[in-house]
């Protein structure tokens, strides 16, 4: 080493400083000893006048020299570091940042709140119920940036950051113009000293029953750290192609702040509490902002078409995540049962098997992922005391978007809570991206199979099975209007995987219900479809089983598109040998398999036997009646009646209204209803019209055409608590009915065996074979499910003429319509939940729509019947706006009276009501057949957003049934009952 080299000079200077420091220390020691000696032997105080100036002179001169040397050395190091660093101080950027920050302070506050509130909720201690950031401002001071360095990254195969230099500044990558994505990376030092900081956090201490709200404010914030800012460019984003910017700390930042409780108490003056708050803030900041945690800010507006396609794709999963857990207790501290639960978003919770203390477990669970960037994996270790309740041992949240699963495919980590036994979990995550296969009734089978990537012989048989039940055709009619309210339960190896919504008033339902689930071996997975008729009574279990069928896939056919399966129904005999299977319609289904290797670890081999077609699965439907010999015989009688209709023809009877009836009650009124009988066998009973002498029933029934010699009677009764009073009857022969049917128009018939009273009836007769020809003609003009006409046995033979025959009252005879006081009805109501704007809050939201129909009872009492129209998927608003474009419709002969109202509810991810609007059906349409409106949502009088809805209706039904929305009775009672009232 040369004597004049910088390192040699630095060593020599350091040695001189050390020698000077040593001599100065020895001098001070000597002066202290002399001072003690002079004081001990009684010398005069005059000596202090000599010693003090001596100490001051020597100390001051030597110490100043040492400090100057140290400062000079530090300056040399700083200048040397700056000379060797290729970084910029970026004073111009700090000026621009300050002005932009103060201009956009409100938007930045909302962004920070939406990003940090979930983290605060996760990091809160057990004695705090909720933590919410309510205010965020740094005042006029803004973050200061320095030592900026720029890189670029091609984002391919985990490529490294390429630093910007003189040689690369004007030499971009050759394929930059054709590449989809490109990243610009800025690394810099970030400093902040903001004495005017206003950060307010609302804290709820204690529980829901006993607790207190405390306002906590954070002041005088200082922060410094190394920050990375990534600008993402994407050609799929409109010009200027800047998709998003993400901000993260490369290492833990240095943070200092003051905390004031209830605007008075300075918490940071309390030592133990100060350490706890510092640790809590640093943990939260590290989790949210230190790599891999980050804040992402979108820089482009979302195109409406993109939002629509995103809402559509939300039906299908983007990927499949297999989570492998290792945990348990090595020692037996307790006899409690322990297990772990997993949940992503609003999906169903999945649990591991329960174990006892002193044992360990290793188990894998596969979960569907719909939004990898925003989804969170919630992991909770739970326990259950032997003679007690369940309790939580530890909770964890993993933000999937920050784990890089799209590139890494597999991530392993260890989760634990310090000092909590049994909280340690070893977690392994394996993510598989799924191919975007979409299947609907509009899918072309040939085109789909050409795009479908068929698994090879080496591909695993485990993976994801996509099943779609499109709809049904010619199902059994279970209600007395000739329709059913069918819904379908899909099961895999006797385990329920999805229940479709029920379609009101239809025997040709359109469900288009999609379900995806992992399977161990798709060739050994028996997919069953069980159809039920929705019925409601006070017991709650009244749904009728309508049939079942199975779908089995093979290696040669891993994709099935729109296959028609024959629905079967098992009829029990007195002996097992007397059992029989009959046809009950058909279902159209699709199934597509995608191989995923990791699923083999999570799914188990099927152990249950395959379902026999036509049978029901015990306990799979808690609302259904048990499939017994008695119920199956009723269905058989129903089918026999349908066969009789095809053989003899169909008679459609419409009971419209009555007038001038006898008063049977003390108030001078009656509660009339009408019973239709054929040869004394009860076929139909109308609903009760309370407190009136001019009842309006507006109901109809389809029965087999009576033969010569049969007697048809219409008996009117007054409804009473103990015994119904007879009010008169209208007996007719087959010839009378045929003569009335030729006239077509409704006719009045006088009640016999009564002092007064008339009822208005209308008949429609179809001879055998006419209904089949009409069905064929209807099939030539419209496809099932597209026209909204769900025909059953009641519309057999009148597909084209039904609107004219049933609704000439409203179309061509409006005067008579008004005079007879038949209320106008709205049929085939359908519409679209388009979008919502000005939504406040964060998270996901959905719209629930229903019809609210008033029912007038005795003594002017009013009850409301609710009919669900639709429930949209969950969507996260962008700048307060969410676009669903969700289409819904009512089916069959469903009719809604003009007294009804539409109710639209805005609910969050926890199904909590955030906004509501009600509008009457008359105010919505106002004489128009189709209308689009903006509705104002409110929550307790406070505006909660605006909702755009498009709805339309028809003034004619899709089937020859009477306009009614009253509760339907089972057709089985009609066929099996011969009792008199």
Alpha-carbon torsion angle 248, 253, 256, 259, nearest 10: 40
The domain that contains 370 carries what CATH number? 2.60.40.150
d(CA 519, CA 498): 15
Q: What are the tens digits of pLDDT across the range 544-580?
A: 888 899 999 889 889 999 999 999 888 766 666 667 7
Do 891 and 848 reside in the same domain of the chain? yes
- 76: tokens are 């040399």
In a domain, 963, yes or no: no
Render 134-173 in DSSP notation, one character per residue.
Answer: EEEE-TT---EEEEEEEEEE--STTPPPEEP-TTTTT---
| pLDDT for residue 838 is more than 50 | yes
Q: What are phi and psi of 447, to 5 degrees?
A: -65, -40
Q: What are the tens digits of pLDDT across the range 605-624?
A: 876 677 888 788 776 766 66
Alpha-carbon torsion angle 841, 843, 844, 848, nearest 10: -40
User: Contact at 8 Å (CB) between 239 and 200?
Assistant: no
Do 201 and 240 reside in the same domain of the chain? yes
In a domain, 555, yes or no: yes
Do 502 and 417 reside in the same domain of the chain? no
DSSP alpha helix (H) spans, 526-659:
599-602, 629-648
| pLDDT for residue 958 is more than 50 | no
DSSP alpha helix (H) spans, 2-148:
6-40, 46-84, 91-103, 105-123
Q: What are the tens digits of pLDDT across the range 864-891?
A: 677 788 888 888 887 788 888 888 876 5
441-444, long-range: CB < 8 A, 24+ apart: 441/470, 441/471, 441/510, 441/512, 441/562, 441/588, 441/785, 443/561, 443/562, 443/590
In a domain, 735, yes or no: yes
In a domain, 314, yes or no: no
In a domain, 594, yes or no: yes
Q: What is the largest CA-CA distance in the chain?
A: 150
**pLDDT band at residue 799, thresholds of 50, 70 and 90?**
very low
| pLDDT for residue 806 is more than 60 | no
Write down the pLDDT at residue 286: 62
**pLDDT band at residue 676, thresholds of 50, 70 and 90?**
very high
Q: Is the dihedral of CA 31, 35, 37, 43 positive or negative?
A: positive
**Domain range enclosing 484:** 445-616
Q: How far apart are the first and last CA of the chain?
A: 121
Do 449 and 423 reside in the same domain of the chain? no
In a domain, 439, yes or no: no
Query: Which residue, 616, 645, 662, sits at the end of a domain?
Result: 616
Do 539 and 644 reside in the same domain of the chain? no
The 10 Å CB-count burial string (b at 16+, else e) for 277-301 is beebbeebbbbbbbeebbebeeebe
Percent of the chain with pLDDT over 70: 73
Do 165 and 275 reside in the same domain of the chain? yes
Do 506 and 481 reside in the same domain of the chain? yes
DSSP alpha helix (H) spans, 893-965:
921-925
Collapsed DSSP state (helix, strand, coil) of residue 609: coil
Write down the pLDDT at residue 757: 92
In a domain, 799, yes or no: no
| pLDDT for residue 785 is more than 50 | no
In a domain, 814, yes or no: no
Q: What residue has token string 């019209």?
A: 689
Collapsed DSSP state (helix, strand, coil) of residue 495: strand
User: Contact at 8 Å (CB) between 725 and 717?
Assistant: yes
Do 752 and 694 reside in the same domain of the chain? yes
Q: What is the DSSP letter of 233?
A: E
Do 589 and 675 reside in the same domain of the chain? no
**pLDDT band at residue 602, thresholds of 50, 70 and 90?**
confident
Do 902 and 940 reside in the same domain of the chain? yes
Q: What is the DSSP letter of 794?
A: G
Cis peptide before 281 (omega within 30 of 0): no
Q: What are the tens digits of pLDDT across the range 274-332?
A: 666 666 666 666 656 776 567 777 776 554 444 444 433 457 888 899 999 988 877 77
DSSP alpha helix (H) spans, 649-769:
734-743
Query: Which residue, 366, 401, 429, sits at the end of a domain?
Result: 429
Write down the pLDDT at residue 903: 92
| Count of CB atoms situated within 10 Å of the CB of 972 | 19
| pLDDT for residue 786 is more than 80 | no
Q: What are the tens digits of pLDDT across the range 576-598?
A: 666 777 788 899 999 999 999 88
| pLDDT for residue 845 is more than 80 | yes
Mean pLDDT check: name the lowest of 144-148, 211-215, 422-426. Answer: 211-215
Whole-model pTM?
Answer: 0.46
Q: What is the DSSP letter of 751?
A: P
10 Å CB burial of residue 956 (0-12, 13-18, 19+) is middle
Write down the pLDDT at residue 713: 94
Do 67 and 107 reside in the same domain of the chain? no
Q: How many domains does the chain have?
A: 6
* Closest to 518 (Cα-Cα) out of 464, 592, 440, 586: 464
Do 578 and 653 reside in the same domain of the chain? no
Query: Which residue, 304, 336, 359, sits at the end of a domain?
Result: 304
DSSP alpha helix (H) spans, 746-811:
770-781, 802-811
Q: Is the dihedral of CA 913, 916, 921, 924 positive or negative?
A: negative
């Amino acid at each position: 080493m040369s004597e004049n080299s910088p390192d040699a000079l630095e060593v020599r200077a350091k040695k001189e400083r050390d020698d000077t420091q040593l001599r100065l220390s020895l001098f001070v020691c000597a002066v202290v000893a002399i001072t003690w000696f002079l004081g001990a032997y009684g010398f005069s105080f005059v000596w202090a006048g000599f010693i003090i100036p001596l100490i001051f002179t020597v100390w001051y001169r030597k110490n100043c020299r040492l400090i100057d040397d140290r400062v000079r050395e530090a300056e040399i190091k700083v200048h040397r570091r700056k000379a060797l660093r290729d970084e910029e101080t970026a004073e111009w950027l700090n000026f621009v940042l300050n002005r932009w920050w103060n201009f956009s302070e409100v938007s930045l506050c909302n962004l920070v709140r939406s990003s940090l509130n979930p983290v605060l909720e996760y990091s809160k201690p057990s004695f705090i119920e909720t933590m919410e950031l309510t205010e965020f401002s740094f005042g006029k001071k803004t973050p200061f940036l320095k030592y900026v360095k720029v890189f670029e990254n091609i984002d391919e195969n985990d490529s490294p950051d390429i630093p910007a230099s003189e040689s690369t500044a004007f030499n971009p990558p050759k394929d930059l113009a054709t590449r989809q994505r490109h990243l610009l990376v800025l690394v810099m030092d970030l400093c902040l000293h903001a004495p005017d900081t206003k950060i307010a956090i609302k804290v709820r201490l204690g529980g829901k029953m006993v607790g207190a709200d405390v306002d906590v404010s954070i002041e005088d914030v200082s922060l410094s750290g190394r920050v990375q800012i990534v600008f993402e460019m994407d050609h799929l984003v409109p010009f200027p192609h800047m998709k998003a910017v993400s901000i993260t700390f490369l290492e833990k930042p240095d943070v200092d702040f003051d905390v004031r409780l209830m605007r008075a108490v300075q918490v940071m003056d309390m030592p133990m509490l100060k350490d706890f708050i510092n640790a809590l803030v640093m943990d939260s900041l590290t989790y949210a902002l230190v790599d891999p945690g980050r804040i992402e800010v979108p820089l482009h507006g979302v195109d409406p078409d993109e939002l629509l396609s995103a809402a559509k794709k939300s039906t299908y999963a983007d990927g499949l995540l297999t989570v492998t857990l290792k945990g348990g207790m090595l020692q037996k501290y307790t006899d409690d049962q322990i297990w772990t639960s997993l949940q992503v978003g609003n999906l169903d919770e999945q649990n591991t098997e329960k174990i006892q203390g002193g044992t360990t477990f290793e188990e894998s669970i596969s979960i569907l992922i719909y939004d990898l960037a925003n989804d969170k994996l919630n992991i909770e270790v739970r326990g259950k005391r032997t003679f007690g309740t369940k309790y939580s041992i530890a909770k964890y949240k993993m933000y999937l978007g920050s784990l890089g699963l799209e590139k890494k495919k597999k991530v392993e980590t260890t989760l634990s809570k310090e000092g909590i036994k049994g909280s340690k979990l070893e977690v392994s995550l394996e993510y598989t991206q799924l191919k975007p296969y979409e299947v609907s009734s509009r899918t072309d089978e040939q085109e789909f199979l050409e795009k479908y990537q068929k698994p090879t012989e080496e591909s695993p048989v485990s993976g994801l099975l996509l099943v779609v039940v499109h709809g049904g055709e010619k199902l059994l009619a279970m209600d007395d209007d000739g329709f059913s309210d069918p819904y379908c339960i899909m099961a895999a190896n006797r385990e329920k995987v999805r229940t479709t919504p029920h379609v009101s008033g239809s025997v040709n339902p359109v469900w288009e219900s999609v379900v995806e689930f992992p399977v161990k071996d798709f060739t050994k997975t028996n997919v069953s479809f069980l159809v039920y008729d929705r019925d409601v009574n006070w017991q709650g279990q009244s749904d009728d089983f309508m049939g079942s069928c199975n779908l089995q896939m093979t290696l040669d056919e891993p994709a099935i598109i729109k296959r028609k399966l024959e629905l079967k129904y098992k009829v029990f005999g007195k002996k097992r040998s007397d059992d029989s299977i009959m046809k009950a319609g058909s279902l159209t289904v699709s199934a597509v398999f995608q191989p995923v290797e990791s699923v083999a670890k999570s799914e188990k081999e099927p152990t249950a036997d395959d379902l026999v077609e036509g049978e029901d699965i015990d306990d799979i439907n808690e609302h259904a009646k048990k499939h017994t010999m008695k119920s199956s015989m009723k269905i058989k009688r129903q089918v026999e009646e349908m066969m009789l209709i095809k053989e003899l023809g169909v008679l459609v009877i419409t009971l419209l209204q009555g007038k001038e009836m006898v008063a049977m009650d003390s108030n001078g009124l009656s509660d009339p209803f009408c019973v239709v009988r054929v040869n004394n066998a009860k076929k139909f009973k109308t609903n009760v019209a309370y407190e009136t002498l001019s009842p309006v029933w507006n109901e109809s029934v389809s029965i087999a055409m009576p033969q010569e010699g049969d007697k048809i009677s219409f008996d009117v009764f007054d409804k009473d608590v103990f015994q119904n009073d007879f009010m008169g009857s209208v007996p007719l022969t087959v010839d009378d009915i045929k003569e009335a049917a030729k006239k077509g128009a409704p006719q009045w018939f006088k009640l016999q065996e009564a002092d007064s009273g008339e009822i208005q009836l209308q008949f429609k007769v179809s001879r055998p074979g006419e209904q089949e020809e009409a069905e064929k003609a209807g099939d030539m003009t419209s496809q099932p499910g597209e026209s909204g006409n769900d025909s059953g046995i009641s519309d057999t033979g009148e597909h084209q003429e039904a609107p004219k025959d049933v609704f000439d009252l409203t179309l061509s005879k409006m005067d008579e319509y008004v005079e007879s006081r038949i209320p106008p009805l709205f049929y085939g109501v359908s519409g679209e939940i388009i979008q919502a704007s000005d939504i406040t809050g964060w998270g996901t939201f959905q719209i629930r729509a229903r019809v609210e129909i008033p029912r007038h009872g005795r003594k002017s009492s009013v009850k409301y019947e609710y009919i669900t129209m639709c429930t949209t998927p969950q969507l996260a608003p962008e700048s307060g706006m969410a676009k669903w474009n969700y289409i819904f419709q009512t089916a069959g002969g469903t009719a809604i009276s003009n007294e009804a109202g539409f109710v639209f509810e805005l609910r969050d991810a926890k199904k909590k009501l955030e906004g509501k609007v009600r509008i009457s059906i008359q105010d919505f349409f106002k004489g128009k057949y189709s209308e689009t409106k903006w509705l104002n949502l409110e929550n307790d009088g406070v505006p909660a957003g605006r909702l755009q809805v498009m709805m339309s209706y028809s003034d004619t039904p899709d089937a020859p049934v009477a306009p009614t929305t009253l509760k339907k009775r089972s057709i089985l009672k009609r066929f099996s009952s011969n009792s008199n009232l």
